[in-house]
Chains A and B, each alone.
Chain A
Amino acid sequence: MARERLTHRVRWPRLLVLCLLATVLQATDRPAQAQPQSLTVMMATGHQTLAAAQVNDRQMVALGDLASVFGLSVQEDSLADGLTVAYRDEVVVLPATQNLASVGGRIVTLPSPPVRTSSGWYVPIEFLDRVLGLVINTSIERRQQSGLVIVGNLRVPTVDVGYTVGNGRVQLIFEVTPPAPYTIEEDQQHLLVKFDADALDLSLPEAASDSLVTSIQRGTEPSWLTINLGSEYATFESALRNSVTGTSTLLVSVLSEGVTNEITATNTPSQPSVNETAPPLTELTTPAVVRTIVLDPGHGGDDHGAVGPSGVLEKQVALQVAERLQRAIESRLGLRVVMTRNDDRMVRLDERAAIANNNKADLFISLHANAALTPLPAGAGVSYLSLDDASGTSREGSDNRSVSVLGGGLRNIEAVSWEMAQISHIDQSAMFAAIVDAQLRTMVDVRPSRSQAAPLRVLIGANMPAVLVELGFLSNPNEEQKLTSASFQETLVQALFQSIVGFRVHVEQPISPEVGNAFWEEP
């Protein structure tokens, strides 16, 4: 069957606009003049517009504007030949002639020094995420393409919208990164797609006027999308597909009267199939395997764990990183996180595994800080359980028993002692440990030895993939200081977050390329 099909997947041409603006500025030979653009600063309290400018061929923001948005105080320091930016007790020194900033003694590089224009001092926009986040002790994510500046752990998934038209239907494609739960509500003239998020980083296609869908626009709430329906609209169907890249694809088929979704009807014998290879839409939905993650901050209460030379306690570092990781997972992945402790209290090792088992967790991550007997060892590390050491068992440690079943007969069941529950998950634990090891190596110093098996007591009873992550060495004076800094903790959290994303990709059933092609392409 010959079918007409158009495909439009167009992002907002922001980069093009930036390039054009830069070209125009160069052509007019005004090197130090500011050409306004805007960034959108999203915070828990709302969002504000922040003017950006092209100064000396570089995108910059006015320090005065930053001061008003973030509550900073800015002063020129003639002695230091630069600027000081203060926020509460934190002070940033910006030398006027060097492309760096000093944040509490820590040097951060910037693409250029601050620039004085007729309207005041400007700093590169990289100042936002590289420096300001350290100063206000909150993560700041800057999205170049959309101009969003996200302050804190707000859930702002990227949503790229595309569509195909033809044969009495419009198929809308929403690529959501990271995946976010959604609902679709319908009235006579609209479909309202509500994402469970704080806002959307939205890329809409060019105007698509059709008798089924007249337009797509932002909804009345920041995390909503409105699909304006045309006169021929009759019904819609939707399906969700999780891909191996950590992006979910929401498919919404808008149908006219009398038209069935040919993909869902593929396997119906009475109706000749248009696309013999396409499976039903429902098969595109990948069951989420990792739904609940247990984070286990080591030690607590009277058990301080290791103590650094300056007195930093392992139990505190472990809890701080666990809390940061919890916020990141919940806000950006939408997964359930259970903590074995939320405060400074003693939790027995058996109880930690029991919390994970009782919550039917899919992943168990125990967080610790290491210590050595000499100050030299440094670096993070990850371990999983070695069965042949402390447990004194092996993969064959389970016991097959026959039990009577209803209606007569016997059935073999595999009886595994609860405290040996980790046995059946060792392979996945080792795989996750390898993922964590690889991610850590891209972001922080890691011990020379790769992820290793060890007789770790807390992991034995965990009935799910489980690892113990050592965040660094408290016995190393340099690492002791790093482990207390918000920026280093955020880096560790980012590595662990990416590890979890990678683990999900590995364990969840990927959609085969053939299935994807069958949907997107003509046979």
Chain B
Amino acid sequence: MLEAINLSKKYGGHQALINLNLKVSPGEVFCLLGANGAGKTTTINLFMSFIQPTSGEVRINNLEVNTQSQETKKHLAYIPENLSLYGNLTGLENLQFFAGLGGEKPDKPTAELLLKSVGLQPEAVQKRVSQYSKGMRQKVGIAIAKAKQADNLLLDEPTSGLDPQASNDFARLLQDMKQNDVAILMATHDLFRAKEGGTHIGIMKAGKLIHSLKSEEITLQELEHLYLETMKAENHAEVSY
């Protein structure tokens, strides 16, 4: 379970996140929408303890992230927007390395199966990652996350730059994880994926979570309208769907 309680982050004079409250339970996919600079990545970074909050709390499986940073990592998998791997190592070696850091290093057959399960072509497994496309790298990233078998997953714009096929494969994998009771928090610009894959949707602007709703309560058109109106509005109280 992922939880943010009155979470705020200030960079110098800039308030990047203001009093964020959200909760993602097992089997839920919470999609954070918002323009660049809205506070989505800051939220993810706070859950990852890459940065420290100015105030408030972040909890993962009821463990406080700031005080139990290493412990919370055991329950957490993460896929960033631009997944960087080691170019000098093969996809298999990258998976074994990162998965090994997260817990048990998978043996070669297990690692190959994992990579196959995320759709990486068998001939690519032994190639150095420097020869991979972004989609292939992202698949290795998903395999790393899957190998960890964590019950919480943080995704920072994971489909950005992926071709439609890869994006679709990714959505399918997300559904698998959701069904396995993983709590997923995803920052994205993709309204369609948020509506299709998410159980909850949040719209952020200028560090604030303006709207938080269940995806079943809204159609894609309504979501698009709400999003655009939120982005335009000076006073968010005026926006409704």
Indicate, yes or no, whether A interacts with B: no
Interface residues of A (CB under 8 A from B): none
